[in-house]
Structure 1
Amino acid sequence: MEPAGEKAGEDDRVRVTPQMLKAHSGEFALDSILLLRLRGLGLVDLGCLGECLGLEWLDLSGNVLTQLGPLACLHQLAVLNLADNRLSGLEPLAACESLQRLNVAGNLLATPGQLQCLAGLPDLQDLRLRDPLARLSNPLCATPTYGTAVLKLLPRLKVIDGQRVNGRGSDFYQLCQDLDSSLGPSSPSPNVAPAATVHPWVDPGYWETWPSRSSSILEEACRQFQATLQECHDLDRQAQDLLGQAQCVLSSKDAPSSFVF
């Protein structure tokens, strides 16, 4: 027979308890928790999570959740990661009126209609249903036009699966949609219109900022940010080179001129 302490520990790994929440957040009062990461703990029951009334950021990815009932109490929640679970419905999230970003890649959502419960969320702008890098998806993503169906259902969305679908930058998304459609089995003779000119989201130099007042913490953060920014510039140059090479290869094979890079 297992000792009582070990049995209790096993229960804590599958059900959210006050002890678990305090241990992972460092807070003594559940309603004081603003940010919480409960990733990959084997959770099957959210338990008392609904008592974290001030929660704004929550990561529940990599568990085995099938129900989200307690989340209906989290009216301040803005960012929620539910990737890699076993969810076939999201109905309790209809009460999370502050939700802005939602990741449900790697679940069991089979049709766009299962997202109808999100239609009343006024601030929801970013929805992820598929994550190719992590090899996570949903059954509904098997349809090439799922993005269009989701956007029709949730017209307030600005980003789907990391791609801009509304506002500046959305032309690239439309081009990808056109390319997907043209390469599908139902469209053997593609006739894709060229994409409109895409402008940067921010003005030149926007990211090259420096703190206006001296602070070692701010300066170190800016140094790290500048290093990361330089890596992004390098990757962008490499990407442009690869795209140029691909365009030359396609041109040499008489590829359709409508495929604009």
Structure 2
Amino acid sequence: MDSKRDKDQDAECEKITAVLLKSRTGEFDLESILFLKLRGVGKIKLVFHFKNALLFLNNVLLCLLGIHDLGCIGECINLERLDLSGNNITNLAPLASLRLLSVLNLSANRISNLEPLRSCEALQNLNVAGNIISSIESLHCLQPLRKLENIRLKDNTYNFTNPVCRSASYRTVVLEMFPNLKVLDGERIVGRGSDLYQLCKDIDDTIKAGLYKNGQLIEHPDCKPWVDDSYWEIKRSNNAIIEEAYKQFNDVLHECRLLNNRATHVISQTERSMSLKKQPKQYAI
């Protein structure tokens, strides 16, 4: 009996149903859903392996039961933002009816064909990092999307990529294919960036220039954070739009913290390396 119940629950997690959508959003009508996040829906089945901790972690991740059937999601015809990252999706056909969709996150799935997205004429922001898109030709179907200005095929923060990104000419060809693109793989394109981008670049260059004098790295006292840890905290709201903005801000903040940790690690390694070089060489007599 328990086994049958588990199978029924697994099936519900693997396929998007009206019940799942309504329970997730609190909406009674699928056409009323504007924002939807079904990131990595499902249970994690733990597979114990004590010989190798890393292998154990991999087993846990591989056993993540995610959505692979988009089911009735095409009935959410007014959907504007959709996050389906971290699932097992291969077929995007049900998304073809989402003409108002502007932001779509499909990272960490098993997608190789983007053709159904050709009909998503309002699409502005597309994240397909961490899939199996193998060639530039697979991106041709996105060219009719005139509003598309942000594409992510790889994400260094989470080590997500696609086979197509291995090509040496990948970046150049993509930029030629999409002349209206403003952001590629999380990096604002040089020459077409906003005033804010240029300002940040100038500040960054100035800071880098101030770190060196006569080609030597200048030692600075330990720097303190420019704002308190609680500065970025946002009060929760029952408003769906504000709540969605809150979630997106938290995602960005999480990425910033990961990048900060990496930067701190690199700086620490560089300082250690330079301190070793400054030590006088000792010769045995």
Fold-level similarity (TM above 0.5): yes
Q: What SS does the corresponding residue of 2:148 show, helix, strand or coil? A: coil
For residues 90 and 7 of structure 1, what CA distance do their matches in structure 2 show?
Answer: 30
Deviation per residue, 1:51-73 (Å, 9 max, x gap): 00110010000001110001000
* Matched residue, 1:18: 18
Q: CA deviation at 1:168?
A: 4.0
* Matched residue, 1:40: 40
Q: CA deviation at 1:8?
A: 2.6
* Matched residue, 2:124: 100
Question: Please, what TM-score do these two structures have when normalized by structure 2?
Answer: 0.61
For residues 199 and 84 of structure 1, what CA distance do their matches in structure 2 show?
Answer: 31
Distance 1:168 1:119, change over 3 A: closer
* Matched residue, 1:135: 159
For residues 138 and 80 of structure 2, what CA distance do their matches in structure 1 show?
Answer: 24
Distance 1:123 1:166, change over 3 A: farther
- The letter for the 1-side match of 2:70 is L
For residues 21 and 57 of structure 1, what CA distance do their matches in structure 2 show?
Answer: 14
For residues 7 and 217 of structure 1, what CA distance do their matches in structure 2 show?
Answer: 39
Q: What SS does the corresponding residue of 1:199 show, helix, strand or coil? A: helix
- The letter for the 2-side match of 1:47 is G
Aligned alpha-carbon RMSD (Å): 3.5
Q: What SS does the corresponding residue of 1:20 show, helix, strand or coil? A: helix
Written as runs of structure 1 = structure 2, the 5 A alignment for 1:146-161 is 146-161=170-185
For residues 12 and 126 of structure 1, what CA distance do their matches in structure 2 show?
Answer: 32
Q: What SS does the corresponding residue of 2:151 show, helix, strand or coil? A: strand
* Matched residue, 1:120: 144
* Matched residue, 1:199: 198
Written as runs of structure 1 = structure 2, the 5 A alignment for 1:230-241 is none
Contact preservation (8 Å) 1:130, 1:141? yes
* Matched residue, 1:81: 105
Q: CA deviation at 1:113?
A: 1.1
1:145 to 2:179 alignment: no
Q: CA deviation at 1:9?
A: 1.7
Contact preservation (8 Å) 1:168, 1:201? no
Q: List, as ranges, runs of 4+ consecutive aligned residues in structure 1 with deviation greater than 4 Å.
A: 1-5
For residues 100 and 190 of structure 2, what CA distance do their matches in structure 1 show?
Answer: 25
Deviation per residue, 1:118-143 (Å, 9 max, x gap): 00001100000001110100001112
Q: What SS does the corresponding residue of 1:62 show, helix, strand or coil? A: coil
For residues 104 and 8 of structure 2, what CA distance do their matches in structure 1 show?
Answer: 28
- Percent pairwise identity: 45
Q: What SS does the corresponding residue of 2:198 show, helix, strand or coil? A: coil
- The letter for the 2-side match of 1:163 is E
Q: CA deviation at 1:6?
A: 3.7
Gaps of 5+ in 1: 171-197, 205-215, 253-261
Gaps of 5+ in 2: 42-65, 204-233, 237-241, 278-285
Contact preservation (8 Å) 2:182, 2:193? no
Q: CA deviation at 1:153?
A: 1.4
